[in-house]
Amino acid sequence: MSLREQQVMHLYKEISHAAGVRLTLRHNDCINSIAFVNCFSQVYVAGWKQREHPYLHNTFHLGDRVVSIGGASFSTASAAHSLIRSDSAIPDSVC
């Protein structure tokens, strides 16, 4: 199986997982670096600052749905950014 086929199979496995995928990122790496978008009453990853945070390429996929941040639910992209910016809502190591 080629590398591309392995990557596609891994992606399908992540997508089909019932509980989704839990990511843990440093709080400082999330502030003003990830772009979110509202679509169909849900929040999705729209991009990130690739030059400043190149490793996020291995963490996110464009179009990943974001369900909660630091255990807190939200319904809009601006609410997600507000949660990330508020120091009291999220521990230093979790975003």
pLDDT at 23 over 60: yes
Q: Is the pLDDT of residue 3 over 70?
A: yes
- pLDDT value of position 91: 52
Q: What is the pLDDT of residues 34-87, one digit of tens each?
A: 999 999 999 999 999 999 988 888 888 899 899 888 888 899 999 999 999 886
| pTM of the complete model beyond 0.75 | no
* pLDDT confidence band for 1 (50 / 70 / 90): confident
**pLDDT surpassing 50 at residue 93:** no
Residue 76 pLDDT: 96
**What pLDDT, on the 0 to 100 scale, is given for residue 90?**
53
**pLDDT, position 94:** 47
Convert the chain into a string of H (helix), E (strand) and C (coil). Answer: CCHHHHHHHHHHHHHHCCCCCCCCCCHHHHCCCEEEEEECCEEEEEEECCCCCHHHHHCCCCCCEECEECCEECCCHHHHHHHHHCCCCCCCCCC
